[in-house]
Amino acid sequence: MALGKPKPHMNDAYDIRDYRKVMTEFGSMADFDRMLGEIKQRGMKLIVDLVVNHTSDEHAWFVESRKGADNPFSDYYIWRSGKQGKEPNNWVSLFSGSAWKKDPNRDEYYLHLFAEKQPDLNWDNPAVRNEVYDLMKFWLDKGIDGFRMDVIPLISKDPIFSDYGPSYNGRPESVYSAGPALHDYLQEMHRKVLSHYDVMTVGEGFGVTLEKTPLFVDERRHELDMVFHFELARLDRDGWRWKPWTLQEFKAVVAKFNRGLDRHCWQSPYLSNHDSPRPVSHFGDDSPRYREKSAKLLATFLLTSVGTPFLYQGDEIGMTNCPLNSIDDLDDIEARNLWKSEVETGSVTPDEFLFHLRKTSRDHSRNPMQWNASANAGFTDAAKPWFRVNPRYQEINAEADLNSKESIYFYYSRLIEFRKKNRAFIYGDYTDVDPDHPKIFAYLRDLENDRFLVVMNFSGDEVVYRLPEGLNTESMVFTNGTELRENEDSLRMVPWDARIYRLAK
């Protein structure tokens, strides 16, 4: 089967045409039901992506809505007249250009905070909210176990739609995630749907700051269980551009969230997803010399973090960013629209654009999964996969990792088991013991009598690290390559060395 990109699928399935159907290219509803059954037989759970800030413009609701202002679907979306022949306000789309598109059918503009083919739903319309609640129940009644909620902080909009104000910080999501009825709707969703099921929820907290996080996840508010923040994932971002980051900045974000959230708020640490570069390229060293060791160090950070760690497909075998030589190597609509708005307008040169996108592109996490060293990395037997395969697939693939007990894959596996056996990593306190060190990341996780010290050398240099006063190691209980040792207070940390010590009581 030719794996071209199915329709609409212009933004990798975040432009949904029918909420109750599996896209033909991905199979049938019977396939979905079988997959869910197999997942449950393995004691696993299935979380699905709930994308209800917007639909595809090919959704039946929008097809009707754009016909005019006098049908039951007219107010399912956000329509406004222009102002002096221009867009209703100066809001921009997160995929470049205006957030408004004029529709000739209605002679009005509709709002699309993302692509033009992703019109925003009008959550102020109770009929829309009830449609969403019904579709959530449809999937929950099939037996799914939870939702990841796509850009859920954006669902409420101030109906006045005033221009960005004088305090606008240049980041549209800070305006779009501040709608007046957001938490009313999330609490209504919880009351009408979530509270009736055994379900886990995690919101994609696009635009959500630490200060706003408790509003979403404080268990006493009955909204969501968790919310992803973007402060680590976007640590090295200046708008769409890349910027250098430091370990101190990385540690400061982690400490800030651990200090700022109390026991009523559960965290959801992650280092990557389908919108991010690969962690070993982003935060580690993806060279042949240090890829495995630094990938294991990053796994050590993630799986000793506070909250529920989220891993992304391919990171468990240390998949890397994909070489980027021209705009033709990019599939992502966000990047391709940016090329139009930045390069084709002459604002930046192609080389400058590619320099930044080599570090930040969402496509890095979308190259086909590398299963083995055969053609197309074993991803498909079609002549041409839907997207280019990372040329390192013969070195980096699941089969190779499964054939080596020292692989990244088995390191993750052992670390997950270690975390589950030691409650301090799940429920324990977090204390950064050396926030200013430029290369060493060292923190405590302790619960009751269990005290652990995690020490990582986030650099390609050897570091002799003297432990801060009062920290007496009893034994090294986990490591990404150093032999286990007893009683150390001065550590010779090789590049990308990661260790977990049990501390003397």
Q: Which of 87, 120, 150, 236 is catalytic?
A: 150
The site map against ligand ISL for 305-334 (x = CB under 6 A) is -----------------------------x
Query: Is 150 noted as a catalytic residue in this protein?
Result: yes
* CA-angle at 150, arms to 148 and 155, nearest 5°: 125
Which SS3 state, helix, strand or coil, does residue 33 take?
helix
Q: How many CB atoms lie within 10 A of CB 18?
A: 13
CA distance 364 to 361: 6
Binding mask 39-78 for ligand ISL (x = CB under 6 A): ------------x---------------------------
DSSP code per residue over 241-276: EE----HHHHHHHHHHHHHH--TT-----BS--TTS
Residue 91 interacts with ligand ISL (CB under 6 A): yes or no: no
What value, to the nearest 5°, has the Cα angle with vertex 58 and ends 52 and 61? 60
Which of 114, 409, 412, 496 is the binder for ligand ISL (CB under 6 A)?
A: 114
By beta-carbon proximity to ligand ISL, the closer residue of 103 and 204 is 204
Which x/- pattern, by CB under 6 A, does the window 125-164 give for ligand ISL? -------------------------xx-------------
Smaller CB distance to ligand ISL: residue 151 or 354? 151
Does position 11 interact with ligand ISL (CB under 6 A)? The reply is yes
Q: Structure tokens of 385?
A: 């996969």
- 270 near ligand ISL, rule: CB under 6 A: no
Shortest distance in whole angstroms from residue 240 CB to ligand ISL: 7
- Minimal distance, residue 332 CB to ligand ISL, in Å: 8
Q: Which of 19, 77, 206, 409 binds ligand ISL (CB under 6 A)?
A: 206
Three-point CA angle 381, 387, 392, nearest 5°: 80
Minimum CB–partner distance for residue 192 and ligand ISL (Å): 24
**50, 94, 182, 453: which one binds ligand ISL (CB under 6 A):** 94
> Could you say which of 225, 275, 292, 497 contacts ligand ISL (CB under 6 A)?
275
- CB closest to ligand ISL, residue no: 14
Nearer to ligand ISL, 334 or 401 (CB): 334
Signed CA dihedral, 464, 251, 268, 39: sign only: negative
> Which of 120, 204, 332, 497 does the annotation list as catalytic?
204
How wide is the angle at C-alpha 278 spanned by C-alphas 236 and 154, nearest 5°? Answer: 65
How far apart are alpha carbons 292 and 284 in whole angstroms?
9
Taking the least distance from each CB to ligand ISL, the nearer of 118 and 304 is: 118
Give the per-residue SS3 of 313-368: CCHHHCCCCCCCCCHHHCCCHHHHHHHHHHHCCCCCCHHHHHHHHHHHCHHHHCCC
CB within 8 A of 258, min separation 6: which ones?
267, 306, 430
Shortest spacing between CB 406 and ligand ISL, in angstroms: 34
Residue 56 or 258: the one with the smaller Cβ distance to ligand ISL is: 56
Tell me whether residue 14 or residue 496 sits nearer to ligand ISL (CB atom).
14
204 as an active site residue: the answer is yes
Contact 370, 398 (CB under 8 A): yes
Contacts of 505 (CB under 8 A, 6+ apart): 449, 451
Q: Which of 462, 463, 471, 475 is nearest to 489 (CA)?
A: 471
Q: What is the DSSP letter of 377?
A: G
φ and ψ of 206, to 5 deg: -65, 115
Least distance in angstroms from the C-beta of 233 to ligand ISL:
9
* Alpha-carbon gap, residue 9 to 359, rounded angstroms: 24
Q: Given the complex with ligand ISL, which of 11 and 459 has the nearer CB atom?
A: 11
Q: Of the two residues 51 and 491, which places its CB atom closer to ligand ISL in the complex?
A: 51
Report, in Å, the least distance between residue 89 CB and ligand ISL: 19
Return the active site residues: 150, 204
Contacts with ligand ISL by CB under 6 A lie at 11, 14, 51, 94, 114, 150-151, 204, 206, 274-275, 334, 362
